[in-house]
Amino acid sequence: MTDADEGEQPVPPRFWWLKRLAVSAGALIVLLGVCRWVWGVYADRRLETAIAQLRAAGEPIEPEDFDPPEDVPAASNAAILLQQAAAGVTLNKTETALVDEIVSHPEWVREHAAELGAIVDANRAAIDQVRAARDVPAADWGVRIRTPAINTVLPALSSQRQLVKVTMAAALVAAQRGDSHETLERIRDLLAIEAKLDRHPTLIAHMVAGAAAEYACSALEWVTPALAVSDVATTVNAALRPATREQAHALIRELLDERAAREGLIRAYQCERMLQLDTCRQFLGSGTAPRLWAPGMISPSLPVRVAFRPLFANDGAWMLQWSSGWVAAARRDNYPAARQMWPPDLSNPTGLEQYTHYLSRMLLPSLERTLVINFHVLARRRTAAIALAIRLFELDHGQRPTELVNLVPEYLPAVPADPFASDGRAIGYRPDGERPVLYSISVNGIDESGTPGPRKNGRVMWDEADIVFSLTPPIGTPNAK
């Protein structure tokens, strides 16, 4: 065999396959790269389009959007006064437990009048400072959220919740001592705390604000049937001081003024949406991803995040749509309308959703209960306002009205609608029987004529039946019939 013949020897078949595999692998890599690029462009555009739509609608979406319009001087800041008041509350473990029990069961105040009165008197300075905060319109809680928003340290609100409970205790003690004037003022203080807390942009602040309104309504449910009211203001600081009609009408107006509560919930949901977007952006960046946690989930490595960035960007756009659904629900006037706006539930994801919604499963909170509680508080506010109007009518006419329309316009501007009804029906009223009540049909949407749900641990289960507001004192109180 010559040298020329040796140079023309065919390549063994195995080398042809290697070349084909190499060419195919290269083509596949190029194809995947093109797909990854197209996918990335699509996902990024989808996310940016979602953000642009929110901006065009004037919705807050950046951390700085939740800053107050201007700084409030300390001397004119109700939030600082409330923080000082909360810091001034001093309770030991036994006293804390007693206050917790009484605010959950106001009818027990008679049995513990001496102990509760001593607690209130010892904390009088802090409780009075709430009154000072009530008269200050501006409230800046010092919240300045910045990227990364998830690392923002927020002021603790547990002390405000304790302040709310002590203020309610002060209202109950005043009622037990016969001071109806002071009772209504303390209840108005609770509504002032609610309004000031709803200036705080977070969801937890809105929930504490809602608790303040709920405690105000619970106090009214206990004290209203025996409330003493006079046409003339009494200046003598003595026992059996009546409330004034001006006080009562002011409280009715404050109960029916739901603007702060509504705006507080909307802003809280908007703040949750901002937090999700900001964290998504951190996750999409080239640096270290936030240390997020969810059951069975970890933050993937940088190469994985780069490779699957379009998946996370697409999920970010989906999260904005999901959160905007809750914002829309918060703007609805009644629970059934809001319920129709609820986004899909991700608590039990399918096999594919576990991967396509990786970020959202870590970041999205469960908001269903917060919306239900919001409408529950609205129902309580409206029934409390009606109950106070009924008491004024009863003092004027010697009996309760046979229909709620009899309260309009002298005692109420209009009969409030049931926030759990889709047809605009009014709050329910059952004036007859052993225990007259006002009621809302609640979550199940069924009118059960003011029948409360079964009691568990002493509390009415209002998810299972009507939300009831009693028009007679609970059994065991000084004025029970």
- Residue 393 forms beta bridges with which residues? none
In the prediction, which pLDDT does 364 show? 84
- Residue 305: partners with Cβ closer than 8 Å, 6 or more residues away: 283, 284, 289, 312
Widest CA span of the chain, in angstroms? 131
Tokens of 469: 């507001």
Q: How far apart are CA 27 and CA 29, in angstroms?
A: 5
Q: Are 224 and 184 in contact (CB under 8 A)?
A: no
> What three-state secondary structure class fits 244?
strand
One digit per residue, pLDDT tens: the chain, 481 residues?
Answer: 455 555 555 555 656 677 777 777 888 888 878 887 888 889 999 999 999 999 999 999 999 999 998 889 988 999 999 999 999 999 999 999 999 999 998 988 989 999 999 999 999 999 999 999 999 999 999 999 998 888 888 888 999 999 999 999 999 999 999 999 999 999 999 999 999 999 999 999 999 999 999 999 999 999 999 999 988 655 555 567 999 999 999 999 999 999 999 999 999 999 999 999 998 888 887 555 565 544 445 566 667 777 778 888 999 999 999 999 999 999 999 999 999 998 877 666 666 666 778 888 888 888 999 999 999 999 999 999 999 999 999 999 999 999 999 999 999 999 999 999 999 999 999 998 788 999 999 998 988 888 765 544 445 555 668 999 999 865 434 443 3
Every domain of the chain and the residues it spans: 59-257, 269-370, 396-481
Q: How far apart are CA 443 and CA 375, in angstroms?
A: 9
HEC profile of 466-479: EEEEECCCCCCCCC
The pTM is what? Answer: 0.88
Q: Are 165 and 186 in contact (CB under 8 A)?
A: no
Helix axes 368-397, 309-330, angle to 10 degrees: 10
Give the sign of the dihedral formed by CA 344, CA 346, CA 350, CA 356.
positive
In the prediction, which pLDDT does 478 show? 40
In the prediction, which pLDDT does 196 show? 96
Tokens of 430: 């059952």
DSSP string, 51-71: HHHHHHTT---SGGGGS-SSP
Identity at 234, one-letter amino acid code: T
Angle at 52 between CA 49 and CA 56, to 5 degrees: 140
> In 331-428, which ranges are continuous DSSP H helix?
335-339, 353-356, 358-363, 368-397
Tokens of 340: 């129709």
Instruction: Indicate the helix (H) or strand (E) that contains 330.
Output: helix 309-330
Q: Are 175 and 184 in contact (CB under 8 A)?
A: no
DSSP-derived secondary structure letter, 398: S
Strands 437-440 and 467-470, sheet pairing:
antiparallel
- How far separated are the first and last CA of the chain, in Å rounded? 124
Compute CA 347 distance to the chain's CA centroid, rounded to the nearest angstrom: 20
